[in-house]
Amino acid sequence: MGTAALNAALAMEPTDAATRQLSLLEPLELRHLPQEGLSFDEALPERWLQKVLGTSMDTGEALEYPAPGRARLTVTPLGPVENHPPILVRGDFQAVARTPCVRCLAEVDLTLAESVETTLFPPASPEPEQPQGPKGAKHRPEDQKLEDWDEELPDLEALAEGTYTHDRIDLPGVLEEALLLALDMNPTCADEAGCDGRTQALLDEANRPLREAEAQPDPRWAALHQLMGSEPKED
């Protein structure tokens, strides 16, 4: 799609989804998407957040959501809706996830706030077989430098794309993926000094049995210690 057509699609004022009783938390039927698009501005309930992302994929720690989040998304068809056009979904969301600090285990409130920009395509019609290169790889301009890509693609998030199937647009799935990406893999406390202190206390506690064992030598070693003590001294 050319820039002009894209701009034309985006120039139309989207309909407020709430007036159509449509929610971000349910897949959107393509037939409910008006040509001018839909704008959603919705709370993300704690229970929904808990359901989609209740455990950190990276740390395995439980995530809790002390308050509702919020998402504002605009869903724009990039062509006549009846033709199953690509669908642009963009906007932003915020949520606060509570999870233990990976160092000191104190509770940390992580603010998840990201913009979302993704284009969903209808399922691809089977393409004719492309003649393959010697390595069987698709044509890829591997020699192209990263800088060149940067110039062409200023917004890396714009690269994100997915598909929609059965004329349903998985808006909850788009949000879920964005939330997942926004999650810090190693959440730690904001107050570093406090975190250091608590971490040290945890380490001290964990090491205490070891230190006590060192202070009181195992009686089974007593014989050995005696032997070593009775060794003839070099002179």
Least distance in angstroms from the C-beta of 152 to Zn ion: 41
- Written as one letter, the residue type at 108 is V
* DSSP SS3 for 116: strand
Which CB sits closer to Zn ion, 181 or 201?
201
Least distance in angstroms from the C-beta of 103 to Zn ion: 5
Which CB sits closer to Zn ion, 194 or 217?
194
8 A C-beta contact, residue 40 and residue 22: yes
Which CB sits closer to Zn ion, 90 or 103?
103
8 A C-beta contact, residue 73 and residue 91: yes
Strand partners, 196: none
8 A C-beta contact, residue 28 and residue 171: yes
Structure tokens at 22: 């449509």
Least distance in angstroms from the C-beta of 49 to Zn ion: 23
Which CB sits closer to Zn ion, 43 or 202?
202
Least distance in angstroms from the C-beta of 190 to Zn ion: 9
Which CB sits closer to Zn ion, 25 or 106?
106
Residues near Zn ion (CB under 5 A) are: 101, 103-104, 106, 189, 195
Residue with tokens 């395509």: 121
Least distance in angstroms from the C-beta of 96 to Zn ion: 17
Residue with tokens 């430098």: 145
- Written as one letter, the residue type at 152 is E
Least distance in angstroms from the C-beta of 106 to Zn ion: 5
Strand partners, 15: 38
Residues in contact with 12: Cβ distance below 8 Å, sequence separation at least 6, in sequence order: 35, 36, 37
8 A C-beta contact, residue 96 and residue 69: yes
Which CB sits closer to Zn ion, 33 or 189?
189
